[in-house]
Amino acid sequence: MPHPVLPPIAWNLYCSQHADKIGAKGLSPPLEWSTALSQKLALVNNNVNLGIVFRTGTSLADTWDIWPSTGCCNDYAVTKRAELMKSGFPDSCLLLAEAVIEGGEHHLVLLVRTSRDTIVLDNRTPALLAIQDCPYRFLRMQTPDDPTIWSAPD
């Protein structure tokens, strides 16, 4: 059973700078899996991955920006979330999640709740991975019913 945890510090700053991109309380059902949904997710994932030049030497404590010219995982994740929300996707299906990747580095990705699986959109790959197929260890993520509350898996 997940339990509440503090969100990344930069999330609070992001919320104060992008109040219109946070989302609202309330739970939508998972998105119905379809070829069209898969194509839309792949398009947004690839467009953002190619549209931001990756920079190293950043952390989850850094400022999270939408569509910076250069950025790190945080910027890719919040940009993908903002683009999907702009397309009408419910925020309760678009969850930011912090994971640990190989080498112990902390990494932010976007999770998309669908009727089939929770899909990981990641700047490290163009592939749409189901969360159970993702090689990362997830530490905390937004809760679907309130984007300001984060939880950790048990």
- Encode pLDDT of 15-46 as tens digits: 888 888 787 777 899 999 999 999 999 999 99
Cα of first residue to Cα of last residue in the chain, in angstroms, is 6
Token pair of 73 as six digits = 């995982």
Fold annotation for 3-18+27-152:
C8orf32 fold (3.10.620)
Tally: H helices and E strands in the chain: 3, 9
Domain parsing of the chain, residue ranges: 3-18+27-152
Neighbour-count burial for 21-36, b at 16+ CB within 10 Å, e otherwise: bbbeeeeeebbeeeee
Model confidence, pTM:
0.93
For 37-86, what is each residue's pLDDT tens digit?
A: 999 999 999 999 999 999 876 555 578 999 999 999 999 999 999 999 99
Listed residue (84, 150, 95, 147) closest to 119, CA to CA: 95
